[in-house]
């Protein structure tokens, strides 16, 4: 087991009203087996022992499922590894003596709450605008499991549903676009017969809410797909555009 000493440049911001700044910290004897969040736990233990304010960062499952641990590390969403969230990023991706810059997501629609924590409820409002099925199922309805669905459609729907709403797509986009997120939520229903009933209303409401929240337009650079920890495909954005065009014509 190798250990390393690191310099951390961490964004500190007391609240959304005050200006933030980068603060340098030294951490020592960091195991390369640690996750990135465990390394931050060590930093906070040191700060608490000194009587200083610990660094606020978001986390929950620490298993790459919830998407809460979103950090911008050395200019990359979730850090230098691929297909992982910040909690799945291990310190073996860094070297002894490295300087690591740690920032929150940078997007107008994701205002900073404190330090490295941002408010991502804009995503929740987009989903509430139409990312669900509310069809009345009372009475003699067909069992959903009895509806034949082509395997390809089912697989693509499940791939889209893998989105955990972490916001890496927004953070890495030059325009802070939420197109990949919205496309994933629209696609997971658009590909299944159960979701076709409300398809028109859903895509219009979700896209309108996305624009209302202040997210930018798609840059078509593909950076969102590269940084997405779940590998959500750009094909979903093409599907979103088709669904939106059909809904607009209707």
The pLDDT tens digits of the residues spanning 170-210 come to 999 999 999 999 999 999 999 998 898 899 999 999 999 99
Q: Which helix (H) or strand (E) holds 101?
A: strand 99-103
Q: What is the mean pLDDT of the chain?
A: 94
| pTM assigned to the model | 0.92
- Burial class of residue 46 in the structure, from the number of CB atoms within 10 Å of its CB (0-12 exposed, 13-18 middle, 19+ buried): middle
Count of the separate structural domains present in the chain: 2
Read off the tokens for 142: 């067909």
Residue at 233 is within a domain: yes
144 has a pLDDT exceeding 70:
no
* 78 and 171 co-located in one domain: no
Q: What are the φ and ψ backbone dihedral angles of 4, each rounded to 5 degrees?
A: -145, 155
Residue at 142 is within a domain: no
* 95 and 186 co-located in one domain: no
* 125 and 200 co-located in one domain: yes
d(CA 235, CA 16): 36
Confidence of residue 134 (pLDDT cuts 50, 70, 90): confident
* 49 and 152 co-located in one domain: no
d(CA 204, CA 102): 36
Q: Which helix (H) or strand (E) holds 29?
A: strand 21-31
Helix, strand, coil percent values for the chain (each to nearest 5) = 40, 15, 45
Q: Tell me the CA distances in angstroms from 17 to 27, 107, 117, 174, one per residue in order.
A: 29, 15, 14, 24
135 has a pLDDT exceeding 90:
no
pLDDT value of residue 148: 86
pLDDT value of residue 208: 97
**Count of other CB atoms within 10 angstroms of residue 88:** 19
Contacts of 150 (CB under 8 A, 6+ apart): none
């Amino acid at each position: 087991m190798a250990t390393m000493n690191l310099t951390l440049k961490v964004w500190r911001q007391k609240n959304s009203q005050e200006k933030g700044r980068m603060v340098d910290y030294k951490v020592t004897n960091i195991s390369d087996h640690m996750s990135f969040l465990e390394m931050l736990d060590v930093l906070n233990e040191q700060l608490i022992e000194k009587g200083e304010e610990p660094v606020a960062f978001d986390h929950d499952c620490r298993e790459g499922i919830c998407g809460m641990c979103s950090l911008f590390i050395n200019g990359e969403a979730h850090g230098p590894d691929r297909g992982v969230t910040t909690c799945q990023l291990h310190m073996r991706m860094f070297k002894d003596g490295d300087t690591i810059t740690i920032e929150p997501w940078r997007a107008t629609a994701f205002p900073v709450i404190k330090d490295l924590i941002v408010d991502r409820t804009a995503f929740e409002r987009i989903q509430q605008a139409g990312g669900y099925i509310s069809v009345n199922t009372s009475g003699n309805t067909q069992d959903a499991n009895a509806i034949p669905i082509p395997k390809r459609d089912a697989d693509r729907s499940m791939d889209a549903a893998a989105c955990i709403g972490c916001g890496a797509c927004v953070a890495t986009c030059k325009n802070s676009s939420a197109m990949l997120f919205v496309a994933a939520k629209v696609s997971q229903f658009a590909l299944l017969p159960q979701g076709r009933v409300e398809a028109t209303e859903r895509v219009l409401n979700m896209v309108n809410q996305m624009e209302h929240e202040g997210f930018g337009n798609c840059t078509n650079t593909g950076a969102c797909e590269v940084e997405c920890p779940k590998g959500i495909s750009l094909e979903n954005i093409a599907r979103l555009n088709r669904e939106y065009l059909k809904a607009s014509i209707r």
